[in-house]
Structure 1
């Protein structure tokens, strides 16, 4: 390493190569204990290319969690638990959300040791091997083992994600580029989702087991690329990080609201966001029961097109919106996103009454596709500023992975409780609700269930906007 190093945004570090703290230091023993004896050194890469490479794990992260939520989980639940498929989808998504609690713990450990790459390697090995065994458990109809492996895979992915997020904060110093980085991260997530659903659409005649092997390939490639681009000290000094007590690990889940109110409200808003988007996993059942798509291959094709349109629209919007947020502020994009997403859920409520038995089935499907585009634009606008808001409000740059781990885990409540709320709503209200007279196909859930589910989505999405009123727009 030379006397100076260039950061991702093109600025230079000091002669020692050390990063300056990104924010005020909290006066707590837990903070001091997680800093460790190692200081983070930024890699020599700079510019947009380095940002794209070092954030590329978001591509498989987006692909996996998008396709597994609306494709793999519903079909696995229908095959493994045919009598209680909606409840098992909700339980599976809740378990995935629960594993996000590993993010702050991994963050505080990697902060303590001053390394990210070893955690990425370990998470990659766990994720890939568990996915292969998960596929085998599915084929053998081993229900309990499949659920356990689902949790293990999610833990491995969160280990990689936490380490990669720490790398971004380590090497990003210029505040003016945070919107761009957040936009690039959103594009990775959305492009991964888009290509994932495109792959699903073109493999409708194949068994969905092919997705498990696809996940393994993209995880391996992305982890190798990030680790190649990230430059860290090759010594073994990091193994001698300061000793962590159980108290320090438990404190990794806490945020001092009095000292960091902006960061606290960013966490609250992110939690609400994931509650407000949890109804997406039940779109497959909406197509079957409300639209009238009974053929399984057609259902798979339509859900793929819906996801493809939504994610493509979001990907197109995300990067320009992130760049725009550096000039117009973040909040205005959040307000726009909430309005568009609420509009989409409202349309799903009223469309069964608009399209009667005399209406065209094709026009109904086209309207669903239109709603997917509107929802995607709103989703892209929100995701484009999500990471930037967290970076703007970080309490301390030297504990970035720990704090961003809490930010990642803030989605736990939404990801875990949201699907369960929607599943019970659909199961309890939909099984006993009022049916739309013109729907003559056999239904698993009545209209009242979808009315309840979509109304819940509107309520929680609407709560995102007031949560951000407590923060200062950077």
Structure 2
């Protein structure tokens, strides 16, 4: 059996609806939106001050990416050997919640350098726990969902993620407007994450049973896996899109303050994120269903081009309201992309015996680019020191370049599925 002869898994009947199967993604999307985009930028300023905010935020993002890089393939491989998924989800969520508690403690009761490193410790626990949970969980779509339905399931997943992000942005805005303490935000994230996890744990009983082993299916080495062209190019294109996302996402709050001159950057960035997310909800479910009919790649072509154009136009937005309009346009592209993202990745899995390991390796393509936060944060601070807002021009311009590269390179992904018309 060569890596160019993938074994198509015999999908089992899915007992859970796509909404239940994707519930945990709702919780984790709400969690990461609030933590990475709204809370951490504000907390970093509190700990290190304005002059080094970009550097330290980028550094912290990169440190967390180390764990996100290592954990998914290792835990996924162990999950494949055991044939179980949900025990890993349960333990990972527990560690994730403990990390949130440590971060809340550092923000609310500690200060200075000592508090910052306690904060970092909590963040590392969050990263470890969340990646420990999501690596085996990522295997559920290719394991349980027939190939011809993956676009619909991926679309529901993308839509739930977008709704969760919208609620996260709205919650951040509301918490700031009400002047509630940071502990309230951490408690809200914990409740939503735990509740969503319980829905999936209780609603997908098949995922808690050992998966049937296909004796004729190969378990490819890493070298063979990347020699398999569909997986290789799906991995590479996902890296490009993730590089574009992480070039901009951590710094949106700073952009609204420094470029758009908003007096309340937390509230303004929440509104901008809400615009992105509302538009992405509109396009997510539609994009997934379209991809089941016309294929995944045409949706990616349109989505990536829209995101690249919006990123560039944000640099010349004359005011906050125009920036909000561009955020809506960007969201349409982002929703369409996220709606087919998991379907494209699931289609590229070559072996039914190593879903969790291979999805964990594929997930690295999304988390490894978080390392770009460190150099991009440094570039942001350096550019702004040279000329007013030059750093934002450099960072947003690179983001657009990455999106364009993703569109170009996705052409190399071979079609591995039958298109239903």
Give how far 1:390 is off.
0.8
TM alignment of 1:33-432, pairs within 5 A: 45-46=15-16, 50-82=17-49, 83-101=51-69, 102-139=71-108, 140-141=110-111, 142-172=115-145, 174-204=146-176, 205-232=179-206, 256-258=225-227, 260-278=228-246, 279-293=248-262, 295=263, 298-351=264-317, 355=318, 364-416=319-371, 418-432=372-386
Separation in 1, partners of 2:13, 2:122: 35
**2:389 equivalent to 1:447:** yes
Distance in 1, matches of 2:292 and 2:74, equals 31
- Indicate conservation of the 8 Å contact 2:61/2:370, yes or no: yes
Say whether the 8 Å CA contact 1:43–1:229 is kept in structure 2.
no
Gaps of 5+ in 2: 212-218
Equivalent-residue separation in structure 1 for 2:18 and 2:259 (angstroms):
43
Calculate the TM-score normalised by the size of structure 2.
0.89
**Alignment size in residue pairs:** 396
Task: Name the CA shift for 1:100/1:252 in 2 (closer, same or farther; >3 Å).
Answer: farther
Corresponding residue SS for 2:81: helix
Structure 1 residue 103: Cα displacement = 0.8
Aligned to 2:215: none
The 8 Å contact of residues 80 and 353 in structure 2, kept in 1 or not, is answered as yes
| Displacement after TM superposition at 1:99 (Å) | 2.1
Query: Quick one: distance in 1 between partners of 2:45 and 2:208?
Result: 48
Q: Confirm or deny: 8 A CA contact 1:104 1:253 kept in the other structure.
A: no
Report which of the two has the higher share of helix: 2
Once the two structures are superposed, residues 316-373 of structure 1 have per-residue CA deviations (whole angstroms, 9 ceiling, x without a partner) of 110111000111111111111111111112112223xxx4xxxxxxxx1110110110
Stretches of 4+ moved more than 4 A in 1?
Answer: 39-44, 232-235, 251-255
1:31 corresponds in structure 2 to: none
Aligned-residue RMSD, C-alpha: 2.3
Question: Which runs of no fewer than 5 residues in structure 1 stay unpaired?
Answer: 1-22, 27-38, 239-247, 356-363, 434-445
Q: CA deviation at 1:209?
A: 3.1
Shift of 1:274: 1.0
Q: Report deviation, 1:112.
A: 0.2
8 Å Cα contact 1:40-1:115 kept in structure 2: no
CA distance in 1, matches of 2:14, 2:26: 23
